[in-house]
Structure 1
């Protein structure tokens, strides 16, 4: 990625979170990025392509962070807990990016992702849940249902923690307590 592309993506990210996807004109993105509209459209053919490209890049960044912060664990429960904690701490440290992911997932744009991209993003999580079911740790319910429960709890906890402006110690305690409640629910 060249410098112009990075500037465009950062500008678009902030404007999309601030004004919404439909409330952000590409001309505004180009203007605030100090590039011509033509330059923007040479890099991203459409606004939709820009919106989706940012989402995929952020999901990849988050996935790498989660992997790096959970690879030292071997027990299924510990891995799930580390992944949830890592996603929350990444979100707290990258508020705009996390909000963008939430915004995208609750928008019609989610329908534009091809199934391979979606599968690539969630397969590791689904496999881990299946492992927990196979080990008798997690209730034998549909895997996508359990994944939805975990995701909803994670996003809800994130919203709670940013609204309360918790200290690092309080964040850790809240994540620990919430994970134990979640674990009891799915086991």
Structure 2
């Protein structure tokens, strides 16, 4: 693991444990075993570190999801794989997901360029637009549909974390809640 990766890993755990404001950069550098000046070489400000970590995690999650949906043909199968992969990623990467939750509820979100946010959402928005155009999905604004999907997935994730089901029961809940979501959208 290189220095930048060690800094990101240390920051991830400290931010989740102590929050953004209660985690000084000196503590992150110390936890990573790196000089404080080296941290600022990679990330000129703490804000840069926070946003870089968020973008890194978003990209990792997007890559994992893309791998799961690449061989799916129908809109239903693509949406189901997307939903399932998103929830499984969140359950397998609890610390990363908690950081992303913190970030999305913080002022840091406004520091991400609108085009970066749009780039992350665009593949799913395109799927939804195609589904609406082909009359598979109800004719609603795709941003509203995306909000419903992400809110639904977030709530289901919270439910699964709280219940701490074994994997077969998690899979059953994920399938059931996807079916409910699909019925609502179609």
Q: TM-score range by the shorter chain?
A: over 0.9
How many residue pairs end up in the alignment?
Answer: 186
**Corresponding residue for residue 75 of structure 1:** 74
SS in 1 for 2:69: coil
Deviates more, 1:42-51 or 1:28-37: 28-37
Alignment of 1:1-187 (within 5 A): 3-187=2-186
State the distance in 2 between where 1:77 and 1:131 align.
Answer: 12
Q: Point out where structure 1 has 5 or more consecutive residues left out of the alignment.
A: none
Residues of 2 paired with 1:140 and 1:86: CA distance?
Answer: 25
Alpha-carbon distance in 2 for matches of 1:93, 1:180: 22
TM-score normalised by the chain length of structure 2: 0.97
Q: What's the CA shift for 1:163?
A: 1.0
- How much has 1:87 moved relative to structure 2? 0.9
Runs of 4+ in 1 over 3 A off after TM superposition: none
Structure 2: 5+ residue stretches without partners:
none
SS of 1:141's partner is: coil
